[in-house]
Structure 1
Amino acid sequence: MKTGTFSELEIQQKENPKPVIIHIYTSWCSVCKIESFQLNKDKKLVQLINENFYLINFDPEKMKEKISFQGKEFNYLPNGNSGIHELALALSKNKNQPLYPLWIILDKDQNLIDYHEGLFKPEDMKRKLEKVLKF
């Protein structure tokens, strides 16, 4: 799947507005790894996402740069040997610690369409994304 960054997203949305998928995960999350493998294996899903959405894969424990998103700036919050990006906390309903994987789907105007915590099966994701495109 083609993925981008938050900084690219601003430019892309001005040139060619599309719905956005933000996938929040961590490198240590075993469910995230299984899910990623299953989703990437589904060729129709990959094509659907690549053609109709902007996808951002976001590991909030590794991303330490400042991110501008929806007119606000978000920073990495160090905590001893680890930390978390405050954008992940802002997007998550659980403000102390997001549940992984977390999927945020926004329309082309950056309005929240869907919020999905935990494993997102390819068939369920395809159904959800096809509904988004019908709006």
Structure 2
Amino acid sequence: MKTITFSDLEKLQKESPKPMIIHLYTDWCSVCKIESFQIKKDKNLIKMINENFHMINFEAEKTKHTINFQGKEFKYLPNGNSGIHELALSLSKNKKQPVYPLWIFIDKNQNLVYYHEGEFKPEKMKEKLREISTL
């Protein structure tokens, strides 16, 4: 699956505007690992994402660099041995501790069109992606 970074996003949206998927996860999340395995096995889903969306995989607790997104700057917030990125908190409905995995779907005009906390089964994801790609 082709993924990009937040720093690539602005340039790519100018060259080839597409809806965007932001996938927030952590290394310790077992549901994230299971979900990732299921998605990687689904060739149709990968093809659909690669052809129609810009995809960002975002490790919410280990990404430490500053990210500019939608005209704002977000930083890593250390907390002892761990921490969380401000962007993860900003994208999450739960402002204290996001639920992982977290899927954010944004149209090519940068508007939120779908928000999904927890496991996202490949079949349900394909259904939602078909819906979003017609917007």
TM-score, normalization by structure 1: 0.99
What are the equivalent positions in structure 2 for 1:37-48 lying under 5 Å apart? 37-48=37-48
Give % identity. 70
1:11 aligned onto 2:11: yes
1:115 aligned onto 2:115: yes
| Counterpart code for 1:20 | M
| Counterpart code for 1:59 | E
Deviation at 1:40, TM superposition (A): 1.0
Deviation at 1:125, TM superposition (A): 0.1
Once the two structures are superposed, residues 56-115 of structure 1 have per-residue CA deviations (whole angstroms, 9 ceiling, x without a partner) of: 000111100000000000000000010000000000000000000000000001100000
Q: 1:25 matched to which residue of 2? A: 25
Q: 1:50 matched to which residue of 2? A: 50
Q: Matches of 1:16 and 1:4 in 2, distance apart?
A: 13
Deviation at 1:117, TM superposition (A): 0.2
| Counterpart code for 1:51 | E
| Counterpart code for 2:129 | L
Superposed CA RMSD in Å reads: 0.4
Q: Matches of 1:36 and 1:22 in 2, distance apart?
A: 14
Gaps of 5+ in 1: none
1:46 is paired with a residue of what secondary structure? helix
1:105 aligned onto 2:105: yes
Runs of 4+ in 1 over 4 A off after TM superposition: none
| Counterpart code for 1:100 | Y
Gaps of 5+ in 2: none
Q: Matches of 2:38 and 2:60 in 1, distance apart?
A: 22
Report the number of matched residues. 135
